[in-house]
Each structure stands twice: as C-alpha cells, then as structure tokens.
Amino acid sequence: MGICSSTCKMLRRVKYVFLLLLTLSVLAWFSMFSGGSVKSALAPSAATKAVIKRDSMQDEANSGTSKVVRLITPTPIVECPKESPLLQGAVRLNFEPSLKLKEVEVENNQVTEGRYQPSSCTARQSVAILIPHRSRERHLLYLLYHLHPFLQRQQLHYAVYVIQQAGNATFNRAKLLNVGYLEALKDYRWDCFIFHDVDLVPENDKNLYICDKQPKHLVVGRNATGYKLHYKGYFGGVTAMKREQFRKVNGFANTYWGWGGEDDDLRIRVELQKMKIVRPPADLARYTMVFHKRDSGNEVNKDRMKLLRRTTLVWRKDGLNSCKYQTISVDRLPLYINVTVDIGKP
Ligand code: UDH
Ligand code: MN
C-alpha cells in the first residue's frame, strides 16, 4: 500500500497509458476490418454511387434467381460511343455441320447466364432478345454462334431468352413472344425488345439491335426472297420495339395458332397507335435464313385473314393483358435463359 514510491507510481501511470493506447489501436483496427471503415463515413464519389445504383438494380433484377449474375463487374460510367469501334460490317457466316454448343460457350465466356454487358463503357441500351422456339435446336445453335459476338461488337447490354413451347399443340409464335416479354421484365427493366425468329442470321453488324423512336423492322431482305422486302408492310422475322411501344399496342394477339398473320396483326396494332415502322438501309438489313421445311404442328392458319379483320376491335382485350400461361421452368444456361412454357391450345 503505502510502500510505493513516487517512481513506482509514475511507472504504474505509464503502464495505464500504454494499455489505453493499445486498447484504442485494437479497436481502431477492428472497426476497419469489420466494414465500419473510415472511408464509409465519407460521402461516396459519383463513380461509387453509379456502381452502387447499378448493383442494386442487378440485385433487384436477380432476386429469386441464381446470384451468379451479381458478379458482373461494376458498370463503367463512360457511355459507349454512338458507333461502336468494334463493328465489322458485312460478316461471313458459317454453318459448320460439326459445330457444338460447348464450342460456342467457350468462345463466349464473357456471357453469364445468357447476359452480357461491355466492360469498358456503359451500353446505350439494355436489350432483351426473345426467340420463340420448338424443336429447332440446330438453328438455335447457329443463331447463338453468330448473335453473341454480333451483339458484343455492338457494345450492348443484352440477354438472350429462348421461349420454348411445351407439348405438341399447334405452335403459337406470337403468344410465346408475349410470354418472353413478360418473363424478361421479371429479370430486368429492359429498354428494348428484339423479337427474333430462330432461323434468321444477321449478315451485317451495322444492322443495330437497338430500338428507335418508332418500331423497327430489321429484315429488309433475306436470301430466300432475293434480299427484297417480302411484301409491302411486312413486319415479321426480326423486329425491335421499346418496352413502352410494345406495352402501348398491348403486345401481340394471343389468338394466332399455326403459321401466319400474327406479324401483320402487330403491324395493324402499331399503325392504330399512329406509330410508323422504320427500317435500316437495305444493304445492312440482310439475313440468311437457315433452310427449313414447314414444321409439323405449325400448319398454315386458315383463319388468319378473318382474325386480321377484327384486330381493330379486339386489340385492347387480346394481348399482353390477357396472356395466360404456365411457366414450366426457367433455366439459366450459359448462353441463354431457357423459358419453357405451357401456353395451352387453340
Ligand atoms: N418456330 C419453331 N418451331 C416450330 C415452328 C416455328 O421454333 O415448330 C419458330 C422459329 O423461331 C421460327 C419461327 O417460329 O423461325 C417462324 O416460323 P417459320 O420459320 O416456320 O416461319 P417462316 O416465315 O415460314 O420461315 C416458313 C414456311 C415454310 C416454307 C417452306 C417451303 N418453301
Ligand atoms: Mn423460317
């Protein structure tokens, strides 16, 4: 007790100060590593804000799905140039019989679960490619092989959705595309939708897969029709519409079972909204259609003319707002999102 000298008291004081300093530094280290870093107390920079915003959009988009897509690198803040420097113009197409899906996957390893975004700039549009499909695996393979590099050269943020009609009932291209639109919007708020036949391969990457102020028809010419517009007003094969444009026309009619008419019906819907179909120059909007015969289960729809006469009367109640279906599965494959759906029968 009373035997401690003044030197002894001083030593004790030094010891306390030392212990206090030690505790403080341990606390400081702990708070840095547990996330409450000094940095977070500072206001985030504009770049950080942009990344946070995009990440939360991705989280929102991916909720309820696999989380792998979240790992996409933060979006750069510079907007991609109006004309991508990667474009090649007319490209040579290749329909190699021995082509395998695995090879296409390896060549497109930047694509995650069917989705891609440029790493050096922010894409000007986010585009969902919707492909109606049943039993055309070979065509799908050739399309994926050409389309992924094509879209990447255009510096787009995009995803490819393949909408598979389950069962053997008569095919319904239009209804599958409505389903594609509704399902894709559950993932992300896409700006632009490309409705794309599985057998049409674009020949020129200056035929841009982005949406315009007006609905856009991308197939001016194809090999099978001597690269001439099929007929005046043709609006089939590959078309591009903004999210709001498609919503405004109430999408496609659900009532066209079998081949034909649904694309003309969409043209009528577009015209009823006083929109005007635009087309890229004919030398760019060229496609090769992989040769095929008429599919069984997609016979010519004999009622199509009758249906087309009532479009003006029914478009408001036959379309996106009346599209009933049952999703059987959504598989996030490396190169596309495979949506298998029961759309019923005629
Ligand atoms: N589709 C399928 N599976 C089918 C039917 C259609 O995937 O069984 C899809 C596919 O995306 C296809 C699209 O629907 O590209 C349109 O169908 P289509 O290619 O049969 O239509 P097209 O305008 O008409 O090419 C083809 C008529 C066949 C004529 C052959 C004789 N000259
Ligand atoms: Mn075809």
| pLDDT above 80: residue 255 | yes
pLDDT at 24: 65
pLDDT at 13: 73
| pLDDT above 80: residue 294 | yes
Site to substitute for ligand 1 among 134, 168, 173, 266, most atoms within 8 A of C-beta = 173
pLDDT at 225: 85
pLDDT at 285: 97
Q: In which domain, by residue range, is 325 found?
A: 101-342
Model confidence band, residue 224 (pLDDT cutoffs 50, 70, 90): confident
CATH number at residue 307: 3.90.550.10
Looking at the DSSP bridge assignments, the partners of residue 122 are 79
- Centre of ligand 1 to C-alpha 64, Å, is 34
Cα–Cα distance for residue pair 36/40, rounded to 1 Å: 7
Residue 18 belongs to some domain of the structure: no
User: What average pLDDT score do residues 139-165 get?
Assistant: 98
Predicted structure pTM score:
0.81
Number of folded domains that form the chain:
1
Q: CA 157, 163, 168: angle at the middle one, nearest 5? A: 170
> Coil, helix or strand for 24?
helix
236 CA: nearest ligand 1 atom: 23
Question: Within 13 Å and on the Cβ side, how many CA atoms surround 169?
Answer: 15
- 23-46 tens-digit pLDDT: 666 555 544 433 333 223 323 334
- Centre of ligand 2 to C-alpha 102, Å, is 25
User: What average pLDDT score do residues 59-76 get?
Assistant: 49
Residue 331 belongs to some domain of the structure: yes
294 CA: nearest ligand 1 atom: 28
- 315-331 tens-digit pLDDT: 999 999 999 999 999 99
Residue 194 belongs to some domain of the structure: yes
Site to substitute for ligand 1 among 292, 293, 301, 339, most atoms within 8 A of C-beta = 292
User: What average pLDDT score do residues 8-14 get?
Assistant: 65
Report whether 166 contacts 179 (CB < 8 A).
Answer: no
Residue 230 belongs to some domain of the structure: yes
pLDDT at 77: 81
Residue 160 belongs to some domain of the structure: yes
Residue 62 belongs to some domain of the structure: no
Mean pLDDT of the chain: 86
